[in-house]
Amino acid sequence: MHELSIVNNLLKILEKVCKENNPKRVLKINLKINPYSCLDEENLNFVFSSIIKGNKIYEGAKIQIKRNLLPFEREYIIENIEIEV
C-alpha cells in the first residue's frame, strides 16, 4: 500500500515539526501532488486517521491535496502544515 508509506513519511515530518513548535494540535497537511500520481485524498486521509487514532495532537487533522500542473516534479511535496499553537 503506497499510501501507508507516504503517511508514515508524513508522520516523521509532523513529529519533527511538533517537536520544534510544540503545537496544541495539527490542523491540516497541504500537499501538492504530481498530476500523474495515483494518490487520492480520501485514501490518504483514511490511512492517516487509522494510524493516528487516539493521538490527541492529530485528532481532526486532514490531509488536503492540490494537483500540481508540472508532471516532471516529485510525486508529492508538502506545501505547508497548519498547526494551532
Q: Where are the domains of the chain?
A: 2-84
The candidate with the shortest Cα–Cα distance to 3, out of 54, 38, 52, is 38
Domain 2-84 part of CATH 3.30.2320.50:
yes
Q: How far is CA 42 from the centre of its chain?
A: 12
Cβ–Cβ < 8 Å for 26, 38: no
**How many Å apart are CA 22 and CA 15, to the nearest integer?**
10
For the whole model, what pTM was predicted? 0.86
CA dihedral 31, 32, 36, 38 (to 10 degrees): 10
pLDDT tens-digit map of 9-51: 999 999 999 999 999 999 999 999 988 888 889 999 999 999 9
**Mean pLDDT in residue range 54-83:** 89
